A and B are shown apart, each in its own frame.
Chain A
Amino acid sequence: MTDDDLIHALGALDAPAFDADFRAGVMARGARRRLVREVLVGLVLLTITVPALAFSGPALGEAGRVLGETLAPVLVAGLVVSGLAWQAYRYLDRGLTRAG
């Protein structure tokens, strides 16, 4: 086979020159990923901030201490769950894109 024959055969796998669905898929995945990342960063920041509030409770008063003590365990668990959720999200994201 000549190179032209091989190029012709491989050309059967070519994608279209322009595909609005492909572009939309990239943009949608990018937007979803950015949103999830921002939520996760927020959770991590809360997880750091709230226990700090708890430790500085006496300085911030009773309300700060109670808030910290109540929310800190939940948010620490949230950090772990966030990591798992991120992995699950990435897995599902691929499925969603394909389904779309």
Chain B
Amino acid sequence: MARGGDDSALIASARAGSDLAFGRLVDRHGQAARNFARRLAANPADGDDIAQEAFLHAWTRLGDLREPERFRSWLLAIVWRKAREGRRAEARRGRREEAFASVQPCDTGMAGEAAMAAARALARLTVEQRGAIALCLAGGWTHQEAAEILDLPLGSVKSHIARGRARLSELLQGQDR
């Protein structure tokens, strides 16, 4: 399914070397990539960094994209891999999972407290649950699309969503009290 409109012309121009065309792709898909990355990462700043890395990777690999109309799902799959690579690197550096919960709001205009509460709750989910919840619940992707982006079996995605939703609900209600 195409998301964000038809990108074929922009992708063709970007492949031909147009920076302007790639910039337009960043404009079109930047929010989706950042939203997904922010829900996967330790904090919004790390999420934005992952999203930028994903765009840079996509820029150099545009030639590998076989279905230009699926640019967004291809990009989100890159975000997912970058987020997981980042987490593995953090693990190698010996950071503890608890550090994930030390969230600091960074963007002006963001409701800092609400963002911290959401990020803290997400931090308590597994990364697969976060990915599935971010795509299907917050991003409006179907389970099948999420399974392709996350490279997981459909049944696993459904299970991650069900468990993640229940856990997230519990955690957010706990924070309200």
- Cross-chain contact B110 with A97 (CB below 8 angstroms): no
- Cross-chain contact A14 with B35 (CB below 8 angstroms): yes
Interface presence of A9 (CB below 8 A): yes
* Inter-chain contact total with CB atoms closer than 8 Å: 103
Number of chain A interface residues as a range: 20 to 34
Contacts A1-B173, A11-B138, A27-B19; A18 near B56 (Cβ below 8 A): no
> Within 8 Å CB of B119, what residues of A?
13
- Cross-chain contact B31 with A16 (CB below 8 angstroms): yes
Contact of B52 among A1, A3, A16, A22 (CB under 8 A): A22
- Cross-chain contact A6 with B117 (CB below 8 angstroms): no
Contacts A10-B137, A13-B44, A98-B45; A23 near B23 (Cβ below 8 A): yes
Contacts A12-B114, A98-B49; A33 near B56 (Cβ below 8 A): yes
> Within 8 Å CB of A26, what residues of B?
23, 26, 30, 52, 55-56, 59
Interface presence of A17 (CB below 8 A): yes
- Cross-chain contact B118 with A9 (CB below 8 angstroms): yes
Interface presence of B160 (CB below 8 A): no
Q: In angstroms, how far is the closest chain A Cβ from the Cβ of B177?
A: 13
> Within 8 Å CB of B22, what residues of A?
27, 30
> Which residues does B use to contact A, with CB under 8 Å?
19, 22-23, 26-27, 30-31, 34-35, 38-39, 44-45, 47-49, 51-52, 55-56, 59, 107, 109-111, 114-115, 117-119, 121-122, 133-134, 137-138, 165, 168-169, 172-173
